[in-house]
């Protein structure tokens, strides 16, 4: 099974020809850092809008190009075909990508944010508990962080993933299906979660607290990570500075981010309060948690072979953190 085929199973993909054309147009520019991001990634959207990274990297003779993707699986394919050098995604996409042989390494992670993803139902739904989802249609983005949340939430109630009818849709299509009653529940992350709560009155059935960590990861193309450590260090220094600025004045940050995400400031502010933000070095405990997700997906038949997450770590991290 090819990488492109596997990630197509994970989520709707950008056209492969578009990615390759983009990679060729931007390829091998040692003086350019190409960052893959999702507009829903609020800190990176905030960082991009500030222009702070461009100023910081100019001292190293490096420019910045931001490349937007609709979701993590597409971003991982972009990273694999050389369209970007660094990317930021949730827990699940790297697992699907590694199982398909993608060439990337984990270079950092964001703190746990279990409240920033949840299972929601319509306000007037007669479903009151996760157990009530049995036999129901549940929308989710396949291969995303919420895929694991749904698996573990069902497991806690003694149910299997196969006990629900999974309907795989990207966020925009899932919300449309949710609001017209084509699905019974939706598993989604912020800021889409905060938006559907405020704008549609969706009722939160279960968030990630006590079930999942909902970490997010910074990834890099392996060769880039090995050769451009100074650029990555500068990126992380700026990311930390922007995270501190965001947390110091959430309301002001929300006002900046909201129009870029096409959301109301109040919605963005609510979503920001459910994240901690600020990249950290990988630890053995975090790697172990990521391995649990990989093992779960393999047991469910969602990836074709078992993987070893430590194999996707830079050499120094593998020795220091994975005990190898």
Q: Give per-residue pLDDT as tens, 22-38.
A: 444 444 445 999 999 99
- Please check whether residue 156 is in contact with residue 201, taking contact to mean a CB–CB distance below 8 angstroms: no
- CA torsion sign for 94, 142, 209, 276 is positive
Between 141 and 119, the higher pLDDT residue: 119
Top-confidence residue, 99 or 17 = 99
Q: What is the pLDDT of residue 12?
A: 40
Q: What is the pLDDT of residues 143-173, one digit of tens each?
A: 888 999 999 999 999 999 999 999 999 899 9
In a domain, 268, yes or no: no
> In this structure, are residues 304 and 95 in contact, taking their beta carbons and an 8 Å threshold?
no
The model carries a pTM of 0.83
CA atoms within a 13 Å half-sphere pointing along the CA-CB vector of 121: 15
Are 294 and 203 in a shared domain?
no
> In this structure, how many other beta carbons lie within 10 angstroms of the beta carbon of residue 276?
12
Taking the CA atoms of 203, 206, 208 and 212 in sequence, report the sign of the dihedral they define: negative
More confident residue, 25 or 90: 90
**Do 20 and 159 lie in a common domain?**
no
Q: Is 142 in the same domain as 70?
A: no
**Residue range 37-41: mean pLDDT, rounded:** 90
**Is position 225 within any domain?**
yes
Residue that is last in its domain, among 186, 207, 228: 207
Write out the residue range of the structural domain in which residue 104 sits: 3-111+215-262+277-321
Whether residue 230 sits in one domain with residue 132: no
The domain total for the chain is 2
The CATH number that applies at residue 290 is: 3.40.190.10
Indicate whether 6 pLDDT > 80: no
**Could you tell me if 145 and 291 lie in one domain?**
no
Arithmetic mean of pLDDT, 267-286:
94
| Average pLDDT taken over every residue of the chain | 88
Higher-pLDDT residue of 323 and 290 is 290
Do 59 and 99 sit in the same domain of this protein? yes
User: How would you write 36-50 as a 3-class SS string?
Assistant: EECCCCHHHHHHHHH
Looking at the fold, whether 75 and 222 belong to one and the same domain comes out as yes
Of residues 219, 218, 227, 278, the one with CA closest to residue 62: 227
Q: Is residue 269 part of a domain?
A: no
pLDDT of residue 72: 85
CA Rg value for the chain: 19
pLDDT exceeds 80 at position 276: yes
User: Which residue, among 294, 288, 286, 291, has the nearest Cα to 96 in the 3D structure?
Assistant: 294
Last residue of a domain, one of 207, 234, 254: 207
């Amino acid at each position: 099974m090819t990488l492109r085929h596997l990630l197509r199973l994970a989520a709707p993909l950008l056209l492969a020809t578009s990615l390759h054309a983009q990679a060729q147009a931007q390829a091998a520019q040692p003086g350019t850092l190409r960052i893959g991001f999702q507009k829903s990634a609020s800190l990176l959207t905030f960082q991009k809008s500030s222009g702070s990274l461009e100023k910081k990297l100019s001292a190293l003779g490096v420019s910045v190009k931001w490349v937007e993707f609709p979701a993590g699986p597409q971003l991982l394919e972009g990273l694999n075909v050389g369209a970007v050098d660094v990317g930021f995604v949730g827990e699940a996409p790297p697992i699907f990508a590694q199982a398909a042989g993608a060439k990337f390494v984990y270079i950092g992670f964001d703190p746990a944010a279990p409240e920033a993803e949840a299972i929601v139902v319509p306000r007037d739904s007669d479903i009151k508990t996760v157990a009530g989802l049995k036999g129901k249609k549940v929308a989710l983005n396949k291969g995303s962080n919420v895929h694991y949340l749904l698996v573990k939430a069902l497991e806690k109630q003694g149910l299997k993933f196969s006990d629900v009818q999974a309907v795989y849709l990207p966020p925009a299509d899932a919300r449309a299906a949710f609001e017209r009653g084509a699905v019974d529940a939706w598993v989604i992350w912020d800021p889409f979660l905060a938006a559907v709560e405020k704008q549609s009155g969706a009722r939160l059935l279960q968030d990630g607290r006590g079930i999942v960590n909902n970490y997010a990861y910074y990834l890099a193309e392996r060769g880039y990570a090995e050769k451009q450590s100074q650029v990555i260090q500068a990126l992380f220094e700026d990311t930390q500075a922007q995270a501190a600025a965001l947390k110091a004045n959430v309301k002001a940050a929300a006002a900046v981010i909201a129009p870029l995400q096409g959301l109301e400031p109040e919605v963005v502010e609510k979503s920001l309060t459910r994240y901690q933000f600020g990249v950290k070095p990988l630890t053995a405990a975090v790697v172990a948690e990521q391995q649990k997700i990989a093992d779960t997906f393999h047991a469910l038949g969602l990836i074709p072979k078992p993987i070893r997450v430590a194999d996707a770590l830079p050499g120094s991290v593998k020795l220091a953190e994975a005990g190898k």
